[in-house]
Amino acid sequence: MKVKVNKEACIGCGACAAICDEFFEINDDGLSQIKIDEENKDLDFVFVKEELQDEVRDAIDSCPTGAIEVNEDSNANN
């Protein structure tokens, strides 16, 4: 599972970061961004670790604008 935040759709409500602050953070522009590690820094969609997937799915469901996009076809091995 990989996700990205659509900056055009995010309104900076903070719900995603409140639900899963290990994965999402609010940046200096007041919008959500994914906490990027070295492994993911050049990727458009970012891998979600197995242990965070339930929280990230909750954050996706809670986003009022549907700004968090999911690529379910991917897993941590590709």
Question: What is the smallest separation between the CB atom of 41 and ligand SF4, expressed in angstroms?
Answer: 20
Binding residue for ligand SF4, selected from 1, 3, 15, 20, defined by CB under 6 A: 15
* Residues linked to residue 71 through DSSP beta bridges, in sequence order: 2
**DSSP code per residue over 55-67:** HHHHHHHH-TT--
63 lies in the binding site for ligand SF4 (CB under 6 A): yes
Q: Which two tokens stand for residue 39?
A: 């492994």
**Positions in 19-58 near ligand SF4 (CB under 6 A):** 32
Tracing tokens 């670790």 back to the chain, one arrives at: 49
**How many residues line the site for ligand SF4 (CB under 6 A)?**
14
Beta bridge mates, 5: 68
User: Residues in the site for ligand SF4, rule: CB under 6 A?
Assistant: 5, 10-16, 32, 63-65, 67-68
